[in-house]
Every structure is written in C-alpha cells, then in structure tokens.
Chains A and B, each alone.
Chain A
Amino acid sequence: MIPIDLPTIWAFIIAFAVFVYVVMDGFDLGLGILFPLFPKKEDRDVIMNSVAPVWDGNETWLVLGGGGLMAAFPLAYAVLMPALYTPMIVMLLGLVFRGVAFEFRWRTTRERNRWDIAFAGGSLLATLAQGIALGAILQGIHVSGRQYAGGWWDWLTPFSILTGVALVIGYALLGSTWLVMKTEGELRDRAYHLSWLLLVAMLCAIGIVSIATPFLHVQYTHRWFAWPNIILTAPVPVAVAAVTVMLLRSLANKYDYQPFFLTLALFALSYAGLGISMYPYIVPQSITIWQAASPANSQLFMLVGVAILIPLILGYTAWAYWVFRGKVKAGSGYH
C-alpha cells in the first residue's frame, strides 16, 4: 500500500488555491493596473463590466489560501504573516480600495474619477505587495523557535522589488489579453498593442528572476542544475520557450481567445518553477511542510470537505462565467 502523506497533499491543495487565485484575480488586478491607459469613460465602463459579476468570487480564493494555510500549516502562517507584515497590510488596503470601487463608481454623481483612481491605485498596490511578498519568501525568512525573528523591514530588498515589478507586468499582461478576449473594436486593438509590449516585458522579467533566484541560495542552484535534477527541471524553460512562440503567433494572427489562455500557461510554468525551487520547504530553508503541518486529524477533517466542495465550487464558478460569456459591448454592461 502506498502511504498517504497528508502534508504533501495539503501543500498541493494550498498551491492549487493560490494558483487559482492568480488565474482568477490576476487578470482582474491587471485590468486595474491598465486602467490609467484607458482614459475614456466608455472604455472604462466596458472594462469594469467585463469582470464585475465575478470579481468577488475571484478574491475568495485569496481567503481560501490564507484560511487554508492557517488550518493546514499553522506554523507557516504564523511565521510568514508577521514577516510580511507591511506588504500584507498594503495588499489588504489596496484590495479595499479596488473592491469598493466596483460598486462605488456607479453610485457617485460627480467626481467619478475618484473611484477610478482608487481602482487603479488599489490594484497596483495590491499586485506590487503580492509580488514583493513572494520575493521576500523566496529570499528566506529569519526564524527562531516557532516565531518570526526578523525586523519589520526585512522584506525590502532589490530581489523583492524585482519580483514585485515582475508580478505587476505579469498581471497587466493577463489583463490586456483578457481585454483582447472580452472586447471588440478599437478597445480590443489597443489591448492587442499593449499585449505585445507587455509580453516582451514579461519575458524579460521571467528571465531576470530566473537568473537571480539561484544566486539567493545554493540550494536553489543545486535544485535546478545538479545532475540528475536537471533532467526534471530542464523541460520547464523549454516549455516556456514553446508557449512563448505560440503566444506570439496567436497575437500576430489575432486569435482573440488564445492569448489569455497561453499567458495563463506561462504563469503555470513560472509557478511550477517556483514550486521546484521551494519544495519541500514552506518557509524556504527553515520550515518544511512536515514541520509546519497541523495534526493529521485536522488535515483529514478538512480533506473530506475539500474533496467534495472544491469540484462543486469549480462547477458553479464555471457556470457563473458561462452566464456572462462572450464579448462585452459598450452600453450593454451589467450595471
């Protein structure tokens, strides 16, 4: 009989939740980042309407990531959150601003721009904070006993700034390819144009982060380049190259629906690369998933719920997207 390793299963579940969050809220935040580039009110209304019916379902995956982490790996949650204190607070406040903008911008009779600024600024701040948090985790966190033992500015390094900027570029690309898929006419043409620029920027960002990461810790270098690991890790950059070629082709041929999903594939590969670097640590170089895991009966209790409910959730979420499928036309928004 194959022994079932609950912490590994839960590591994959949490990783899955975070990835679904990136898939769903990435384009959503990306639209906010791109907002200043679309100054016309009609364009902004279409952009908002393309995501209004689904945005808070998207953000629920972030709550699952946080809540799931506390439940399945309480030690990791207890160490990571204080270590990332400032980026986390900034992310939460950014999400407050952009979240309320979805309703508020339709409710104000004057100065509509104020909530448009809140939407754009909040989205940018939240994304930057998420990227910085990721970099801060990768570069390692000072732990003593069962607690975070560093200062409240440890997260701020050139590397974490780099990952922050990289994520802003990535989400913006998701946003622009989403617009390519969901809009028409001049708005779509502009989104195509932006997608080209953002794709080039994203490839540069992936390249720089990939080169910088192995220099953080010798373990990362070993994980990627030592024999025989390289047999397993080499396909990742090869796949990135292949997806990039397909993405360039789909942009050139104006296949409206492909660029978004191919961008998601790029994210999935980058995410897999991240997993390869980190596993089996949940707090890199100090706490493994087995050390951080809650007792088996807690993980098992939740696993039952996850096994039944996640497929159900994915089902009705897909239905909600299906209801609001197709191109969003100007003036025929949901608002």
Chain B
Amino acid sequence: MFEGWDAVVLARAQFAFTMSFHIVFPAFSIGLASYLAVLEALWLWTGREVFINLFNYWLKIFAVAFGMGVVSGIVMSYQFGTNWSAFSDKTGPVIGPLMAYEVLTAFFLEAGFLGVMLFGLDRVGPKLHFFATLMVAVGTLISAFWILSANSWMQTPTGHALNAEGQFIAVDWFKVIFNPSFPYRLVHMVLAAYLTTALVVGAVGAWHLLRDPHLAGPRVMFSMAMWMATIVAPLQILAGDQHGLNTLEHQPVKIMAMEGHFQSHQHGAPLILFGWPNQAAGKMDYAIEVPKLGSLILKHSLDAPMAGLDTVPRENWPPVPITFWSFRIMVGMGLLMVGLGLLSLLMRFRGTLYNSRLLHMFAVAMAPSGFIAVLAGWITTETGRQPYTVYGLLRTVDSASPLAAPAVASSLIAFIIVYFVVFTAGVIYLLRLMAQPPHHGEEGPRSDVPARAAGITPAAGAVAEGAAR
C-alpha cells in the first residue's frame, strides 16, 4: 500500500491521520461538557424538568464521544516517542512538562469525576453531582490550555535556550507557557469548540423540530444553540482576524502560503479569493483577486508593501496548495456560521424560530460545519509551519524516529483499519442517539436499570437522597 514512501513521510501521514481523528472528539467534548454544566445549573436553579431531560440526553452522547476521545488521545501521548523520538529527546525538557501538567491538572480531573457525572446522580445527590459535572467541564478547558500552550510554543518558541546535548531547555517558564501565539490560539480554539458543539446541538434540535415544532426539549436546545451561533460566530471571526495578524508578525511565511502570495508586492498586495497554487512554478494559476485588498486586511493600508514567497528560500516553503485551500474552507465555514446566526436572529424577532423550515434545514445541513472548520483550521496552521516542528529551529526531517519504513507503513495501515472500524461504529451510535428526541423522564447513560421516578426535580432528588440515608 505504501511502497516507495520514505519513513518520515509515513510518520507524518500517521500523525496527521491519528491527530485528525482525535481532534474532533475533544473539540466536541470541550463544548459539550460546558453545555452539560449549563443545563444542570439551569435545572438546579429553575427545577424545570426539560433541563434534566436535556442533560441526560446529551450526557449519553457525551459518554460515547468522551470514550472515543480518551482512547485516541492515549495514542497521541505515546506517538511522540514511537515516531518522533528525535523531537522528543530535543524538546522533552520544554514541552514534556507542559504535557505532564496537562495530565496532572486536566486528565485526572476529567477522568476522576467522569464516573460520578455519568452514573452517580443517585448516589451522591444533585449538588455534589453538579460539582462533578463542573469539574469535568473545567478539566476539558484546562486540558485545552496546556496542550495549546505546548503547540503554540512549537509555533512561536520563546523563553528557551539550547544545552550541550542539543536539547531545548527552558530559561523562563512564563515565557515558554505564554508564548506570543498562545493567547490567540487558545481563544480561537475554545471558541471553535463551543461553536462546533452549538452547531451539533442546533442541528439535532432542528432535526426534531422539522418533524414536530412543539417538542419542548428540541425547542430549548435549538434556541440556546442559535444564540451561541448568533453571538459566538462573529466573535470567532474577530478572534481569527487577530490570530492572523499575530501569525503575520511571528510566522509571515505561513501567511504568504495562506494568502497564496508567491510574488512580493511593493505597492499593495491583492487579496486572492480563489486560484490554483502552482508550487513547482512558484505562481498562482487561475487567480481571482481583488487588488490591494490583501494589504488593507493585513496591514490596514491599501499601498502597504508585502513580501511574498519569492523572498524565502524554496527549502523553507510550506506546501502552499494545502495551506491555501484549507484556510479558505475554514473561512467559508465561518461565514456560513455567521449567516446561520443572523438568519436565526431574524426568525427569532419575527417569532418563527421554531417554525421556519428553511432555518431548520439550514441548521441541519450545518451540523458537520464546526468539525470541518476545526480540521481545516488545524491543517492550515500545522501545514503552514512546515518544514519545521519547532518553528525556524528544528526541521521536521530531523525530528523523526530511526525507524524502517515498513514498520511505519504497517502501523499506519493498522491505524487506518482500526480507526475506520471503531470510529465508524461510534459515529453510527452517536447518530442513533441523536435520532431519538429527548423525552419526558429521559434517563442517563444506563440501559438495563429500572427507571428512576420520572420527572425527578432537585428538591425531590434531595428528599429521596435524604430518605435513602
């Protein structure tokens, strides 16, 4: 299947494949954990049954998605060593501790409280259970903090030095953790996770409203999700723009690839809307462009000069076609999300939020848009920083393990087969759960247990808990 590929290319393919499969689950569970905390808080506050029904409904989905995130995540934590051992040896002293802190402050917190969150409401009572839910939600956010700090350090390394063994060592931990691109990447990614989840929740709500616009649960989740899209999608565009300006400052070559700027422009660079990047010839074929708009967006001046890839040695070019197109896919998805948010706002003011078939069909179609945008965004940022693993300092070819190509080819094939079998099944189970509308007396993730009293309220739950003691 992979004859003639060299070991480093195979290792990159394997990392890209396993990472792409992994990232969609955390992106979904970061948002969903927060949503579950909000639902449970609303239930405790208002005592309305619809909130605990929605909580239990999404909790079952969370359990399946979280499990898939955990197992694909364990793979990632070992793959640094198995396939990128030279990288691990050289950068371990700097990013190793960041990842160790991720395990200590986030993974244990999530895993420790997950069992109680999933199965423990009857055993610990509503208040302590809410605490567990909160800890899981906070854990997912802390996890994002550390892993994005580590990733950002690889993109914009600061606060480090080299030792005699050729290893990176930390000189200033604060500068390592809060490196220049980290705050932008963190905000951009957490907003992306929230949007991704909101679009799934919105799509599921819309799906059920298309069949019956009077269902209480779908109405609540659809309305909440559309508020998120209305408010967060524009914020995300703003955050993305700021992140782009930060990238222009610290990784200008990545921006050149994203914009398809092969040539330098002394008097204002165009904004290339579409085109076919011809990496070999070093030019953009079939370009559709708006003159000077590129400089206006990136430098806030029509005539600002902009350097192109012609100022960069070819061996330092990232793969332009992938970077250029993945960026456009991400932006396109973002604009569609803003459109959905605005349309829902219009329908809301017209009072047809729960009856507009057009809006509901649009929302259903947008279900995967968050995942597509997240993947496209990560492909943009990770491809655009090539050919380096630590930007400007350590090349990807010098990072790989000393493995024979057949070893990596075999493991890559094994990953492809196993992931397709396992995750296809998982996605089918998730869709099957989502195909059922949340109903009165919705149960948590349990299937063969006699139902609790339907429509339990916090007060009744507390009484039952007290009686049990």
Contacts and interface: CB of A to CB of B under 8 A. Distances in A.
B75 interface: yes
Contacts of A335: 119, 445-449
A12 interface: no
Q: Which of A59, A72, A85, A320 has the most CB of B within 10 A?
A: A85
B248 interface: no
B422 interface: yes
Interface string B93-104: 110110111111
Given A82-B85, A298-B170, A323-B120, A59 B74 contact: yes
B178 interface: no
A52 B114 CA distance: 10
A268 interface: no
Contacts of A151: 404
A71 B92 contact: yes
Interface residues of A, number: 73
Given A298-B94, A313-B104, A324 B119 contact: yes
A323 B124 contact: yes
A305 B81 contact: no
A53 B93 CA distance: 34
A67 B77 contact: yes
A57 B425 CA distance: 24
Contact of B425 (A45, A92, A104): A104
B111 interface: yes
A137 interface: no
Contacts of B419: 96
Nearest to A75: B89
B78 interface: yes
Contacts of B119: 52-53, 324, 334-335
A3 B402 CA distance: 37
B155 to A, nearest CB: 19
Contacts of A331: 448-450
A320 B403 contact: no
Nearest to B64: A103
Given A67-B102, A72-B96, A92-B74, A60 B120 contact: no
B235 interface: no
Given A99-B70, A100-B71, A147 B170 contact: no
Interface stretch (B161-169, B206-214, B256-264, B290-298): B161-169
B411 interface: yes
B82 to A, nearest CB: 4
Contacts of B276: none
Interface of A: 45, 52-54, 56-57, 59-60, 62-64, 66-72, 74-75, 77-82, 84-86, 88-89, 92-93, 95-97, 99-100, 102-104, 106-108, 118, 146-149, 151-152, 294-295, 297-298, 301-302, 305-306, 309-310, 313, 316-317, 319-320, 323-324, 331-335
16 contacts: A54-B115, A57-B112, A64-B100, A82-B401, A86-B407, A96-B418, A103-B429, A104-B64, A107-B429, A147-B402, A295-B167, A297-B173, A309-B105, A313-B112, A320-B116, A331-B449
